[in-house]
Amino acid sequence: MRPHPAFSLLLLLSLAGCGVVPGSKPAERVARQAGSVPVSTARPEMRQCNAELGQTGSRFAPLPDKFYGAGCSTTNSVRLERVGGDHTEFTVTNLGAVACPLANSFAGWARYGVDRAAQQILGSPLQRIETMGSFACRNVAGSARRSAHARAEAIDVAAFVLADGRRISVQAGWNASRDEREFLRVIHRSACKRFGTVLGPDYNRAHEDHFHLEYGSGNYCR
């Protein structure tokens, strides 16, 4: 005996209301099984962050949320490709996923802290910032605590290349010529005003070759 058409329609509507359709799986469950969730620009905080980052003149692409387990994930993140300066754009190397709020702070620091200091102290605008990366599923060195890198909330900066071809590295320049020393210390102090944690060569040997820039509400500057 075939079911009445009205009964079949009611059954399908009931199943749809529960989010279940025969032969299918909920999209979120499928995404999480694959280790990622589609790009989440629909969330208000992500829309606002993307809009603010766009206003800096930066070029970027929103990324899907990914969950790696063991306390490691990249959510509300972007791929930062270029940063807007006063007169031109400059590139940022070796970056993977970066939490959008961190990307915003980094873009502001790169333009108003680094580029302007390079022009005023070294006489040449910035062309490129070389980093050691952002996301890495690891602990803080010598501890059992997850690093901010495990959430893509930190960037390690190694060197700065100017438009005139000069390359100023954190390791070589920290105790080099007077101008290079001044430049690196000025941008280090500038970073301390924009990031929750800033670590450099004076902190310990593990940071003698880079600036660790970490997003957060604190004010730890070394």
- Cβ atoms of 82 and 89 within 8 Å: the answer is yes
What is the rounded CA–CA span in Å between residue 162 and residue 95?
19
The answer to whether residue 21 sits within a structural domain is: no
Can you give the residue range of the structural domain that contains 209? 81-221
Q: CATH number, domain at 172?
A: 3.30.1380
**Can you give the pLDDT at residue 63?**
94
**Can you give the pLDDT at residue 18?**
35
Strands 154-162 and 211-214: antiparallel
Q: Which residues contact 63 (CB under 8 A, 6 or more apart)?
A: 39, 74, 77, 78, 79, 97
pTM of this prediction exceeds 0.85 = no
**Can you give the pLDDT at residue 43?**
74
The answer to whether residue 74 sits within a structural domain is: no
Nearest Cα neighbor of 184 from 168, 207, 198 is 168
Residues in the chain with pLDDT < 70? 1-42
Q: Which residues contact 48 (CB under 8 A, 6 or more apart)?
A: none
Tens-digit pLDDT profile for residues 181-217: 999 999 999 999 999 999 999 999 999 999 999 998 8
The answer to whether residue 40 sits within a structural domain is: no
The percentage of the chain sitting over the pLDDT mark of 90, rounded to a whole number, equals 69
Amino acid code (one letter) for 207: H
The answer to whether residue 163 sits within a structural domain is: yes
